[in-house]
Amino acid sequence: MDGVVDHLADERNKAQFDVEEMKIVWAGSRHVFELSDRIARLVASDPVFRKDNRATLSRKDLFKNTLRKAAHAWKRIIELRLSEEEASKLRFYVDEAAFTDLHWGMFVPAIKGQATEEQQQKWLPLAYKMQIIGCYAQTELGHGSNVQGLETTATFDPQTDEFDIHSPTLTSSKWWPGGLGKVSTHAVVYARLITDGQEHGVHGFIVQLRSLDDHLPLPGITIGDIGMKFGNGAYNTMDNGVTRNGKCVRSNVPRQLIYGTMVFVRQTIVSDASCALSRAVCIATRYSAVRRQFGSQNGGVETQVIDYKTQQNRLFPLLAAAYAFRFVGEWLKWLYTDVTQRLQANDFSTLPEAHACTAGLKSLTTTFTADAIEECRKLCGGHGYLCSSGLPELFAVYVPACTYEGDNVVLLLQVARFLMKTVSQLGSEKKPVGTTAYMGRVEHLMQCRCSVQKAEDWLNPNTILEAFEARTARMSVAVAQKLAQFANPEEGFLELSPNLVEASVAHCQLIVVSKFIEKLQQDIPGKGVKELLGMLCNIYALNILHKHLGDFLSTGSITPKQGSLANDQLRSLYSQVRPNAIALVDAFNYTDHYLGSVLGRYDGNVYPKLYEEAWKDPLNDSVVPDGYHEYIRPLLKNQLRNARL
């Protein structure tokens, strides 16, 4: 900031906590903070990684630009000998969806998680050096959610010792896989395995798609891009492919854990949610402190919009959620690591819980984040609608996260199955553990009474936890009782699916709240840091309580009076967070390059920069627009003639 006026300096001076220490908490450790900071600056200072022109490039230019960035990123990774951790941060700060995401994020993990030792030895070294580029080809034109409904077949031919991968119908074309359309040389293709005329369910096969010499599709394979997607720029940096396979290729049958890659990626999507959310919140918070409307007295300055309680009521729960998702993401990473180690030792006992947690939290955090980005756009008024605010593109890139890696409703139904199984086993020898351990106290939770008598009582974490546990337990038991009335459980499941989804949401919200509370039980250094996190935790929980008051009241988990007291406490918490708001978003440590937003600039110098940005639009290259002579001038002349008549 040397030599630059900081328009947000007063805001920063108001902070009541140690923002440098908060940066460490946000990053996860001092090591990660320093590494992230270094890589963020490296990316921001490299002109090849410029991204402010994405909205105005044609699809072909946009795509070629992404190829250029990916090649440059790889060159830098090699030149600087970056570690895997550093390379992955570099990808994060480059901030552009590309085929490399699928190569590193799904193709490599699929091989690691599902291939035999021998297959790994063959493919992984090639993939690590990017001598082959891979994608994850599961979804077909006709089936995405229903993986068992995939139509592509892989028939073993004992004569040639090969699998014949075949898409017999239009609907069996692989449709959507990222990187497949134009770049990938290989794919993990999911297909129904057939040997000796017998079907063995869906398995993954490593398939070569294109020649490594001239990049042409191999014989019998038709490949292309599926066309423009939502938003200019945005996810159109990615080629999403369609392919129909004829005869190919060699591979052995991968073993179990066909779904393992999805568990891994869903876990990373939860961590990513806190990044996208914090980014939108950072933009909206800084701009809300810069923007003034109404309230001027005696010719004085107008009110900063962040001081309006309605703005706080919309914005601060999103800020709180960004921190909440950060911590639940950390925990989920731990859970995933733990289950992976167990699986390697053939212990499958925690897999159902890991599946339910990754599916449920992926659904909860991405739905919330997509809605929150749109809310942040509205929080920025008209200027939020400009591409230079960074919010339209962020929304367009982010919103498919509600669909890919499992449609969010379909995933909540998976959580519901897990919850119903847990309820049905209550009273048996199998005690609920982990995130469902609270169900072990179901008798107490079904009849306990919330003890809140005054607003401050809601600051007690045990009170909050018990209200959330009682709500979820009661909703789950109620729907389980309704299910039991159906002669055919699957019919009941379909009929009651809206209620089941609501119980799943309640369960996932409980997990997020409880992991935030657990985080606060750790030793967190730095003046005021823990206090501020405590406030955010309470805002996150009490805002949910307010938004889902119907659930809490209808289950009798709290009384209407207690609901109203929770709301009083929320308003008081907003006032306490207000002076810290800018410092809380500074703690994300985002560079202006990464934020990509005139409204969210660190220095708050919004208006001159908005004006500057506007002049950069290609439409402003000429004063008189192209088309004037063909379409405007004749119109004006006609009007003139008509007016004379």
Ligand X SMILES: Cc1cc2nc3c(=O)[nH]c(=O)nc-3n(C[C@H](O)[C@H](O)[C@H](O)COP(=O)(O)OP(=O)(O)OC[C@H]3O[C@@H](n4cnc5c(N)ncnc54)[C@H](O)[C@@H]3O)c2cc1C
Ligand Y SMILES: CCCCCCCC/C=C\CCCCCCCCCCCCC/C=C/C(=O)SCCNC(=O)CCNC(=O)[C@H](O)C(C)(C)COP(=O)(O)OP(=O)(O)OC[C@H]1O[C@@H](n2cnc3c(N)ncnc32)[C@H](O)[C@@H]1OP(=O)(O)O
- Contact residues toward ligand X (CB under 6 A) are 102, 136-139, 143-145, 176-178, 235, 240, 400, 403-404, 406-407, 409-410, 413
Q: Which does 351 bind (CB under 5 to 8 A by kind): ligand Y, ligand X, none?
A: ligand Y
Q: Which does 105 bind (CB under 5 to 8 A by kind): ligand Y, ligand X, none?
A: ligand Y
Between 145 and 453, CB nearer to ligand Y: 145
**Min. distance of Cβ 16 from ligand Y in angstroms?**
36
Residue number of the CB atom closest to ligand X: 144
**Min. distance of Cβ 322 from ligand Y in angstroms?**
19
Name the nearest CA neighbour of 307 among 13, 582, 611.
582
Name the nearest CA neighbour of 606 among 6, 95, 9.
6
**Catalytic: which of 11, 140, 405, 466?**
405
**Min. distance of Cβ 471 from ligand Y in angstroms?**
24
Q: Which does 409 bind (CB under 5 to 8 A by kind): ligand X, ligand Y, none?
A: ligand X
Q: Is 181 annotated as a binding residue?
A: no
Burial string for 51-64 (b: 16+ CB within 10 Å, else e) reads beebbebeeeebbe
**Min. distance of Cβ 145 from ligand X in angstroms?**
3
- Residue 416 and residue 426: Cα distance in Å, rounded? 15
Cβ neighbours of 14 (radius 10 Å): 13
Between 396 and 511, CB nearer to ligand X: 396
Backbone angles phi, psi at 121, to 5 degrees: -65, -30
- Residue 81 and residue 508: Cα distance in Å, rounded? 40
Q: Which residues contact 105 (CB under 8 A, 6 or more apart)?
A: 265, 268
> Both tokens of residue 341?
């180690």
Q: Which does 96 bind (CB under 5 to 8 A by kind): ligand X, ligand Y, none?
A: ligand Y
**Min. distance of Cβ 175 from ligand X in angstroms?**
8
**Min. distance of Cβ 488 from ligand X in angstroms?**
16
- Residue 459 and residue 114: Cα distance in Å, rounded? 46
Name the nearest CA neighbour of 127 among 188, 43, 175.
188
Q: Which does 235 bind (CB under 5 to 8 A by kind): ligand Y, ligand X, none?
A: ligand X
Residues that bind ligand Y (CB under 6 A): 66, 69-70, 73, 87-88, 90-91, 94, 96, 98, 100-101, 104-105, 136, 138-139, 144-148, 178, 259, 262-263, 265, 268, 351-352, 355, 404-406, 410, 414, 417
Q: Is 406 annotated as a binding residue?
A: no
> Both tokens of residue 275?
């990044």
- Residue 124 and residue 112: Cα distance in Å, rounded? 8
7: three-class secondary structure by DSSP: coil
**In the 8-state DSSP scheme, what is residue 519?**
H
Q: Which residue has the tokens 């553990």?
A: 433
Between 136 and 325, CB nearer to ligand X: 136
CA dihedral (74, 586, 373, 618) in degrees, to 10, reads: -60
Between 240 and 365, CB nearer to ligand X: 240
Amino acid of residue 335: L
Between 375 and 405, CB nearer to ligand Y: 405
**Min. distance of Cβ 399 from ligand X in angstroms?**
9
> Both tokens of residue 253?
């049958």
Q: Which does 268 bind (CB under 5 to 8 A by kind): ligand X, ligand Y, none?
A: ligand Y
Between 113 and 604, CB nearer to ligand X: 113
**Min. distance of Cβ 44 from ligand Y in angstroms?**
14
Q: Which does 400 bind (CB under 5 to 8 A by kind): ligand X, ligand Y, none?
A: ligand X
- Residue 182 and residue 59: Cα distance in Å, rounded? 13
225: three-class secondary structure by DSSP: strand
Name the nearest CA neighbour of 323 among 600, 539, 507, 15.
539
Q: Which does 414 bind (CB under 5 to 8 A by kind): ligand Y, ligand X, none?
A: ligand Y
518 classed as catalytic: no
Name the nearest CA neighbour of 562 among 575, 574, 545, 576.
545
Between 49 and 552, CB nearer to ligand Y: 49
Backbone angles phi, psi at 222, to 5 degrees: -115, 125
Q: How far is CA 509 from the centre of its chain?
A: 16
Between 178 and 384, CB nearer to ligand X: 178
Transcribe 447-505 into DSSP letters. Answer: H------SGGGGG-HHHHHHHHHHHHHHHHHHHHHHHHT-SSHHHHHHHTHHHHHHHHH
Q: Which does 208 bind (CB under 5 to 8 A by kind): ligand X, ligand Y, none?
A: none
**Min. distance of Cβ 630 from ligand Y in angstroms?**
39
Backbone angles phi, psi at 221, to 5 degrees: -120, 130
Between 108 and 599, CB nearer to ligand Y: 108
- Residue 32 and residue 30: Cα distance in Å, rounded? 6
- The catalytic residue positions are 405
Tell me the binding residues for FAD: 139, 178
Tell me the binding residues: 139, 178
